[in-house]
Amino acid sequence: MTIMAVDPVLARRAAIQRIAEATDHRRQMFSGLALLACRACLVITLIPLVALLTYVVIRGASAWSWAFFSHLPTPAGVPGGGIWNAIVGSLIIDGMAAAGAILFGIAAGLFLAESSGRIAGTLRLATDVLAGVPSIVVAIFAYALLVAHGIHHFSAIAASFAIGILMLPVIMRASETAIKGVPTALSEAGFALGARKATIARKVILPAALPGLITGVLLAVARGAGETAPLLLTAVGSQYFSVSPTKPIAAIPLVIYQNGIQAYPDLVKIAWGSALFLVVVILVLGVGSRLLAARLRRVRHE
């Protein structure tokens, strides 16, 4: 008993507890206030975001009509214009971009997942850095490669190239993570059956990694679909209907930007309507990817 009483650790602990109890009330008050401040920060963060969404929904919904989605743009001052050509244009640009980025990105993701060491590590870092390169810089690259040389004028394919590069790092890292998450026992079972690596990748690894792959692709498409700056330097927009990959083409983000900075109320209205359309598409992709991934995971576990 006497030995324990002089134990310095216990003595120190007792002292700390005494001080803690003595100052408890004051500290709890301060803690409560500080937590309140943190919660206030949460509210301050949410207010502008909620305000933004509210404005987009209210102003955008009033612009929506059948004609809005099915008509071509009209000159300023002529009411009744729509964004049909921009919807098709965005589908073409983002479709081509996604096709390229998915093929390339998943293959590169497989490579990253199966490799370790310095080369793969450097590649990973390069991918992450590419994800942080401003989209306007990627746009300059697409311009220099495909507009200034290559095709020699503004085109949908140049826009796809730029958007595809922006989608690429997201898909690469997401597929690497998804593929690494596949239990090694599955591929080892494949090897035990004498299957080749390509067969195992196609029949075992990729199907098992599917939920993660889909999430990555949808997030990448959501990111790509909202990009505006790259389109400004590559697709430049158009008042006409076009499906040609080698011609200038309209796109939803461009409609928002180009109409939004005009002084004509009907053009601004179209900008709000397009903004709501874009936000809905992107949030559906975002929420959808989460739900789909969760569902696929659940199915697999059952």
Residues numbered 131-170 forming contacts with another protein, rule: CB under 8 A? 131-138, 140-141, 143-145, 148, 154, 165, 168, 170
Q: Name the minimum Å distance from CB 11 to another protein.
A: 15
Per rule CB under 8 A, is residue 77 in the interface with another protein? no
Tokens, residue 1: 């008993």
Q: What is the DSSP letter of 193?
A: T
Q: List alpha helices for the chain, DSSP H.
A: 2-5, 8-22, 24-61, 66-70, 84-114, 118-132, 135-142, 156-180, 184-192, 197-200, 206-208, 210-226, 229-234, 252-260, 265-301
CA-based nearest residue to 286, from 209, 196, 185, 216: 216
Among the residue ranges 69-77, 89-97, 101-109, 239-247, the one whose residues contact another protein (CB under 8 A): 101-109
Q: Name the minimum Å distance from CB 68 to another protein.
A: 16
CA pair distance 243, 88, nearest whole angstrom: 8
CA pair distance 67, 236, nearest whole angstrom: 24
Phi and psi, residue 249, nearest 5°: -145, 150
Q: Name the minimum Å distance from CB 109 to another protein.
A: 9
Per rule CB under 8 A, is residue 7 in the interface with another protein? no
- Per the CB < 8 A criterion, the answer to whether 53 and 279 are in contact is yes
Per rule CB under 8 A, is residue 299 in the interface with another protein? no
**Which of residues 99, 261, 280, 294 is near another protein by CB under 8 A?**
261
CA pair distance 175, 107, nearest whole angstrom: 9
Q: Name the minimum Å distance from CB 41 to another protein.
A: 3
Q: Between residue 179 and residue 198, which ones bind another protein under the rule CB under 8 A?
A: 194, 196-198
Per rule CB under 8 A, is residue 9 in the interface with another protein? no
Pick 11 or 261: Cβ nearer another protein: 261
Q: CB-based contacts of 287: which residues, under 8 Å, 6+ apart? A: none
CA pair distance 263, 194, nearest whole angstrom: 69
Q: Name the minimum Å distance from CB 73 to another protein.
A: 17
Per rule CB under 8 A, is residue 287 in the interface with another protein? yes
Per rule CB under 8 A, is residue 65 in the interface with another protein? no
- Per the CB < 8 A criterion, the answer to whether 68 and 271 are in contact is no
**Which of residues 72, 88, 130, 210 is near another protein by CB under 8 A?**
130
Q: Name the minimum Å distance from CB 244 to another protein.
A: 19
**Which of residues 4, 5, 38, 263 is near another protein by CB under 8 A?**
38
Per rule CB under 8 A, is residue 297 in the interface with another protein? no
Per rule CB under 8 A, is residue 102 in the interface with another protein? no
Binding mask 211-250 for another protein (x = CB under 8 A): -x--xx--x--xx-xxxxx--xx--x--------------
